[in-house]
Structure formats: structure tokens, C-alpha cells
């Protein structure tokens, strides 16, 4: 396990899967690994943005310190409350507010 921010846990009897967590350790996605080869898993991890260290004690470049797998979502600037004291909700079409 030379990848930065990647931890392998063996759970007896469980199908292997890659669980992606947010910076707050909230589950983002589960990717089943049962039907994948080692090479396919290595490629997936690389595509997701995990940094592979040369040696276990090698430093991690600054741009990978908070990686991966996806960039942190950009939050919209706070809106001023409306006259009734409630903050208006505004969502663009096709936007998923729960994400």
C-alpha cells in the first residue's frame, strides 16, 4: 500500500470494494472490485487521482496533500436573508443541491 490516502482493510467474508470518502469521512461512492484484475484496480486508483509514493516514507507533493479522489465542491457565496428573515434557496436547473 504505497498510495497516499489509501488504506486496505480486509473484512473476512465481504466482497472487496473501494469506498471513497469525503474530507469529512462521509461515504461518496462504493466501487465493487470482485471482477477486476490487479492491473485494472491499479489503473482505477490512478484515474481517481491517488498519488503513488516511490517508497512508504517518501514525501507527498503538496498538490496531492488533500487528494484524492475528487476536488472539494465549491460552495456558493452566502446569500443575504430575504425581508422575511429566510435565506432564499436558488438552484440552477440540473443542479443537485444534495451533492
Residue whose grid cell is 425581508:
83
Confirm whether 97 is domain-assigned: no
pTM exceeds 0.85, yes or no: no
Residue 16's domain comprises 1-71
How many structural domains is the chain composed of?
1
Domain contains 4: yes
Q: What is the pLDDT at residue 3?
A: 59
CATH number at 41 reads 3.40.30.50
pLDDT of residue 99: 46
Which of 26-30, 51-55, 66-70, 85-89 is the most confident on average? 26-30
Q: Is residue 61 part of a domain?
A: yes
Average pLDDT, the chain: 74
Q: What is the pLDDT at residue 57? A: 85
Task: With a cut of 90, say whether residue 13 has pLDDT above it.
Answer: yes
Q: Is residue 15 part of a domain?
A: yes
Please report whether residue 53 resides in a domain: yes
Q: What distance, in Å, lies between the first and last C-alpha atoms of the chain?
A: 30
Residue corresponding to grid cell 490516502: 5
Instruction: Report if residue 88 sits inside a domain.
Output: no
Q: Residue 18 belongs to what H/E stretch?
A: strand 17-21
- The string over 46-68, giving b where at least 16 C-beta atoms fall within 10 Å of a residue's C-beta and e elsewhere, is eebebbeeeeeeeeeeeeeeebb
Amino acid at each position: 500500500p504505497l498510495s497516499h490516502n489509501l488504506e486496505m482493510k480486509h473484512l473476512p467474508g465481504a466482497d472487496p470494494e473501494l469506498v471513497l470518502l469525503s474530507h469529512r469521512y462521509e461515504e461518496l461512492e462504493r466501487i465493487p472490485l470482485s471482477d477486476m484484475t490487479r492491473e485494472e484496480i491499479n489503473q482505477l486508483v490512478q484515474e481517481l487521482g491517488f498519488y503513488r509514493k516511490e517508497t512508504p516514507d517518501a514525501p507527498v507533493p503538496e498538490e496531492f496533500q488533500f487528494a484524492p479522489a475528487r476536488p472539494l465542491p465549491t460552495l456558493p457565496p452566502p446569500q443575504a436573508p430575504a425581508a422575511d428573515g429566510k435565506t432564499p434557496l436558488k438552484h440552477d436547473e440540473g443542479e443537485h443541491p444534495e451533492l
